[in-house]
Structure 1
Amino acid sequence: MANDRLTSRAGEAPLDAYLGDLAARLRGPRRRREQILAELRDGLHHAVADRTAAGLPQGEAVAAAIAQFGTPQAVAEAFAGELATAYARRTIAWYIATGPVVGIWWLLLLQPHPWRTGLVALLAAIPVIPLIIIAIATAAGTVATTGRLMRWLPEASPQHALAATITIAALALAGDLTVIASHLRSEIPAKSLATFAVAASLTRIVCSLVTMRHATAMRTSPPS
């Protein structure tokens, strides 16, 4: 029994090395990456157990199981599309959640009584409204075509989902820069609301730059 446990622990080393190599190649949301690795580890253990039950020495069984699953590069490429779509959906959901919060602060700051003015005055005070509309439409279309509505709508490819993510991040970046510039040019007195609005936009500017870099890397770079 002690020898079996020793052999089992020795057999874990190649599996750990294989999964570690694979983990370094997977790009996407951390939780989904962990789920994939856990599923693969479980599958590898079952494959090894089947081969040892058939009479193979554990070392050979481990090597055969790993060969059956494929190289880390091949496995990472097989999951790249799924992870890219998951990343796009999670990132777009973040923009959908934060957009109204940041938008309300700027609305209260730049045009606190929008219902008392016409559309032209509102656009003059908050010129990013067309960008917001485009971003909302892009986000809604991407979420719809990568989720449960795919049974009725054409499915968006991972590349299209990432492209939409980059577009939304760029629109958010342009919008935040524009409202900050509008505020600096305005004669609105300094107030605590302005501090919160500017801080929120600056935070989202940084997040948008990071998002654009990550999504572009996932679109253009295969797992390596």
Structure 2
Amino acid sequence: MGGHGLTPQASTHAQARVDAYLGELTRLLRGPRRRVAQILAELRDGLDQAIADRTTDGRTEDQAVDSAIDRFGTPQAVADAFAGELVTAYDRHTIAWYIATGPLVGIWWLLLLQPHPWRAGLVALLTAIPVLPLIAAAIATAAGTFATTGRLIRWLPEASPDRALTATIAIVALALAGDLTVITLYLWSGAPLRASAILAIGASLIRIACSVVVLRHAALMRRGSTGADPGPTGRNDAHR
């Protein structure tokens, strides 16, 4: 963070205090890296302006820094104010990743377990790929969460960050269960490990590892957002 300055005349001591404040915020903010970086940049600009305004009013630099930081609030208060926004951003980012990887993983299993799905009836398809109901549930949950956390909230009820995070956890759990199920069924079938089988299993194993990481991260975000103040603390001041 040392690449940003308050003003050309600002002391190293004042810069260090702002860096320490934003450094603590960096530790507390949980969410997509790009959005966290944007928030930190906005907060730094707001702090720089607030300190400059107070210095112009005749306060010493230390007094200006104290006043600006007090107005913004403690790092924990500011992190709590952004928690809901970051949780929703994380949910949409995660769901988008699963929507993108779902067809890539699914196509290998479809070709492996039912090479001609258009010729098979529904019963035969479900017998060959028993995780299809899980996939349908995940797709429906993903579509509903995307619709109620994005631009469509102009016409639809907006999902709270907690509900969106719960939906994300459910989607990841369904994907994890689906990947584990198809791998287990295929290995138990005794079928030979052809190249297509290795590709399908490898793709699912990668997504299983990612799902475990996502579930752990989501659990940390849920604990971190518990009791968070959804009010405007810090956010309004960042734009003053």
TM-score range (shorter-chain normalised) is over 0.9
Match of 2:19 among 12, 16, 21: 16
1:208 deviates by: 0.9
Quickly say closer, same or farther: Cα 1:181–1:168, change in 2 above 3 A: same
Deviation (angstroms), 1:133? 0.3
Quick one: which of 82, 88, 92 aligns to 1:89?
92
Query: Which AA in structure 1 matches 2:102?
Result: G
Structure 1 residue 162 corresponds to structure 2 residue 165: yes
Residues 162 and 216, structure 1, Cα contact 8 Å, conserved in 2: no
Tell me by how many angstroms 1:195 deviates: 0.8
- Out of 179, 182, 200, the residue aligned to residue 179 of structure 1 is 182
Shift of 1:209: 1.1
Q: 1:108 & 1:130 partners in 2: Cα distance?
A: 18
Instruction: Tell me the amino acid that sits aligned with residue 31 of structure 2.
Output: G
2:41 is the alignment partner of 1:54: no
CA distances 1:96-135 after superposition (whole Å, capped 9, x unpaired): 0000110010000011011121111110100000000000
Matches within 5 A, 1:59-74: 59-74=62-77
Contact 2:84/2:225 (<8 A) preserved: no
CA separation in 1, counterparts of 2:144 and 2:51?
44
Q: Which of 120, 136, 139 is the matching residue for 1:117?
A: 120
Whole-angstrom distance in 2 between the partners of 1:207 and 1:52: 49
Instruction: Give the unaligned 5+ runs of structure 1.
Output: none
SS of residue matched to 2:11:
helix
Q: Cα distance, 1:88 vs. partner?
A: 0.3
Post-superposition offset of 1:5:
5.2
- 1:146 aligned onto 2:142: no
- 1: CA distance, partners of 2:21 / 2:120: 63
- Over residues 39-71 of structure 1, what are the superposed CA-to-partner deviations in whole Å (9 max), with x where a residue is unaligned? 000000000010111111111101110011000
Q: 2:167 and 2:225 mapped to 1: Cα distance?
A: 19
Aligned residue pairs, count: 221
Identity %: 67
Deviating 4+ runs (over 4 angstroms): 4-7
Partner of 1:189: 192
TM-score (norm 2): 0.89
Contact 1:22/1:72 (<8 A) preserved: yes
Question: Does 2:75 align with 1:75?
Answer: no
- Select the residue among 205, 208, 213 that pairs with 1:210: 213
For residues 157-205 of structure 1, what are the alpha-carbon distances to aligned partners after superposition, in whole Å with 9 as ceiling and x for unaligned? 0001110110001000100011001111224332111111001100111
- Structure 1 counterpart of 2:77, one-letter code: A
| Aligned equivalents of 1:5, 1:154: Cα separation in 2 | 48
Q: Confirm whether residue 134 of structure 1 aligns to residue 137 of structure 2.
A: yes
Structure 1 residue 213 displacement after superposition = 1.4
Query: Residue 189 of structure 1: SS of its match in structure 2?
Result: coil
Structure 2 gap segments, 5+ residues each? 1-6, 229-240
Match of 1:221 in 2: 224
Q: Provide the C-alpha distance between the structure 2 equivalents of 1:97 and 1:106, rounded to a whole number of angstroms.
A: 16
What's 1:39 paired with? 42
**Relative contact order higher in (CA < 8 Å, ≥ 6 apart):** 2
CA-CA distance at 1:6 after TM superposition: 6.4
Residues of 2 paired with 1:177 and 1:215: CA distance? 20
Q: After alignment, is 177-186 or 167-176 more displaced? A: 177-186
Q: 1:7 to 1:132 in 2, by over 3 A?
A: closer
